[in-house]
Amino acid sequence: MANYGTPAFWTANGQALNRLPMSAIVLHPLPRTQNELPYETDEDPRSRYFRQAQYGEPVRMALLFVLANKKHREKFLQKTNPLTF
């Protein structure tokens, strides 16, 4: 058996997933270790971490575009600044 480092505090294995309702959603920021999120969870319909990672890239790209483009940045800050009344 391979050594994947120190054991995780909590593991989302099949036994843990069986305790969750089918409406639960399992997220993880990735990359993962086998200790914290075993490969057996990939086939579970509640696992959404690959979709989470897939959607994260275009969201980060859009945020970088807004922050890099002065016109869009000013409009974005006006709409999102909690100190603006």
Q: What is the pLDDT of residues 49-74, one digit of tens each?
A: 999 999 988 888 888 888 788 777 77
Measured CA distances, 53 to 4, 18, 40, 49, 72 (Å): 22, 24, 18, 6, 25
Mean pLDDT of 20-40: 89
pTM here is 0.60
Identify the CA nearest to 80 among candidates 69, 68, 66, 64. 66
* Confidence label for 76 from pLDDT (cuts 50, 70 and 90): confident
Sequence spans of domains, the chain: 1-47, 53-85
